[in-house]
């Protein structure tokens, strides 16, 4: 278990992560955070760009599973609509939900990545579970709490970029 706030890669948006990039990293399973990574907190409808990206990923050999701290209803409804597997109540940054996903797919952590918009839940959780941590920019910072949280993450992002984190 590696307790670190540093992601292995940073992308300006989830849709910038290509299947080719994941294959080059040896990734066979991509776990995705849900809220503010795939869709904003305020809607269950992804952007047209996100829909295209999800379809493109589904056509690749990369398996996808949504791993969310959210409750079942909203996440499961979305995942059913888009043919995605999901694990809810993941309790990130604790590795419980991530480990459950690894077990479901029968893959070692070295072949898995988790992409999310939060350092203190997604990146830390990925690192604690031993999977490749990818930080993406949040889709929407619509509340004061989200803006504050992202401001508090800026020193970590600055440090990560200074250490030549992939992007």
Read off the pLDDT of residues 14-55 as tens digits, 9 standing for 90 and up.
Answer: 999 999 999 999 999 999 999 999 999 888 899 999 999 999
Helix residue ranges per DSSP H, 8-111? 19-24, 48-59, 72-82, 96-105
Q: The pTM is what? A: 0.88
The string of pLDDT tens digits covering residues 98-145 is 999 999 999 999 999 999 999 999 999 999 999 999 999 888 766 666
Residues 85 and 34: their CA atoms lie apart, in Å, by 12
With a pLDDT cut of 70, the percent of the chain lying above it is: 83
| Superfamily of chain region 9-162 | HAD superfamily/HAD-like (3.40.50.1000)
The CA–CA distances, whole Å, from 131 to 36, 60, 99 equal 21, 20, 10
The contacts of residue 126 (CB under 8 Å, 6+ apart) are 7, 31, 98, 113, 114, 116, 132, 133, 134
- Residue 92: count of CB within 10 angstroms of its CB: 25
């Amino acid at each position: 278990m590696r307790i670190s706030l540093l992601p292995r890669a940073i992308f300006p948006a989830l849709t910038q992560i290509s299947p080719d990039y994941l294959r080059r990293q040896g990734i066979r399973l991509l776990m995705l955070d849900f809220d503010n990574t795939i869709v904003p907190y305020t809607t269950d409808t992804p952007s047209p760009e996100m829909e295209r990206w999800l379809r493109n990923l589904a056509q690749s050999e990369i398996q996808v599973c949504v791993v969310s701290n959210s409750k079942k209803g909203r996440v499961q409804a979305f995942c059913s609509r888009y043919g995605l597997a999901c694990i809810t109540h993941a309790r990130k940054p604790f590795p419980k939900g991530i480990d459950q996903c690894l077990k479901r797919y029968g893959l070692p952590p070295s072949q898995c990545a988790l992409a999310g918009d939060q350092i203190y839940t997604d990146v830390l959780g990925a690192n604690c579970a031993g999977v490749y941590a990818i930080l993406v920019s949040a889709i929407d910072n619509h509340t004061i709490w989200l803006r504050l949280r992202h401001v508090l993450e800026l020193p970590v992002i600055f440090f990560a970029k200074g250490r030549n984190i992939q992007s």
